[in-house]
């Protein structure tokens, strides 16, 4: 006896069909070819990033973070990839003098802004920045992984006037995590650097 009623699709076949339909446009776009038969990368755009006083011409996927552009394409590895979610501060850089989390900033959105990384903080053939020197003097690091981000945030902390008390420094620097717990030394370094920056 033939069953003429339409068969209800099972959960598995429904999910498999939906997944196939959602991936099909992506596969088609990624497989588009450039002249000469090479596969054209999807979403690459030409951009100019001004980093540490120099212009860098790059062709990057529009989804590339500033952190990945700095580390993977410009080979400036001072900014660290800690959490890649904007929660640890290890990737902190300056954009037009303001601290930003480079893991949450798209490279394409950083065009037209002056980006400063830890490598460009003191300038070529110049003495260390007062904050860098203070971190050394006060032993403001242990493993050193978070130190570039700590230093970049500390510079902003002082420049923005948030370094007048230990409590104020701790509050402003709370977005930068140090798994080695060098926090008292970091506060001492910021206090030392504040004096040098204000008098120099």
pLDDT confidence bin for 124, thresholds 50/70/90: confident
pLDDT value of residue 48 = 98
- Cβ atoms within 10 A of the Cβ of 142, count? 14
CB neighbour class for 91 (10 Å; exposed up to 12, middle 13-18, buried from 19): buried
- Cβ contact 75:124 at 8 Å: no
Q: Tokens 């009623």 appear where?
A: 5
Segment holding 137, helix H or strand E: helix 130-137
pLDDT at 113 over 50: yes
- Cβ contact 64:107 at 8 Å: yes
**Strand pairing partners for 48?**
57
Q: pLDDT, tens digit, for every residue of 126-170? A: 999 999 999 999 999 999 999 999 999 999 999 999 999 999 999
pLDDT value of residue 23 = 44
Query: pTM score > 0.85 for this model?
Result: no
Name the average pLDDT for the chain.
87
Q: pLDDT, tens digit, for every residue of 4-54? A: 555 555 655 655 555 555 544 444 444 444 555 555 556 799 999 999 999
Contacts of residue 31, defined as CB under 8 A and 6 or more positions apart, other chains included, come to 39
pLDDT value of residue 107 = 98
DSSP class of 5: S
- Cβ contact 79:146 at 8 Å: no
């Amino acid at each position: 006896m033939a069953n003429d009623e339409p068969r209800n699709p099972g959960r598995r076949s429904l999910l498999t069909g939906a997944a196939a339909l959602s991936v099909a446009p992506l596969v088609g776009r990624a497989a588009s070819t450039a002249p000469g038969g090479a596969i054209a990368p999807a979403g690459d755009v030409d951009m100019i990033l001004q980093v540490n006083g120099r212009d860098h011409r790059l062709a990057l996927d529009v989804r590339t973070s500033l952190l990945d552009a700095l580390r993977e394409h410009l080979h400036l590895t001072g900014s660290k990839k800690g959490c890649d979610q904007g929660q640890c501060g290890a990737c902190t850089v300056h954009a037009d003098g303001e601290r930003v989390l480079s893991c949450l900033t798209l490279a394409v959105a950083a065009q037209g802004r002056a980006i400063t990384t830890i490598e460009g903080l003191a300038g070529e053939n110049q003495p260390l920045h007062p904050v860098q020197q203070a971190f050394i003097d006060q032993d403001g690091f242990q493993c050193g992984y978070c130190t570039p981000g700590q230093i970049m945030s500390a510079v902003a902390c002082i420049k923005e006037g948030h370094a007048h008390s230990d409590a104020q420094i701790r509050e402003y620097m709370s977005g930068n995590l140090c798994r080695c717990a060098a926090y008292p030394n970091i506060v001492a370094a910021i206090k030392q650097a504040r004096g040098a920056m204000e008098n120099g």
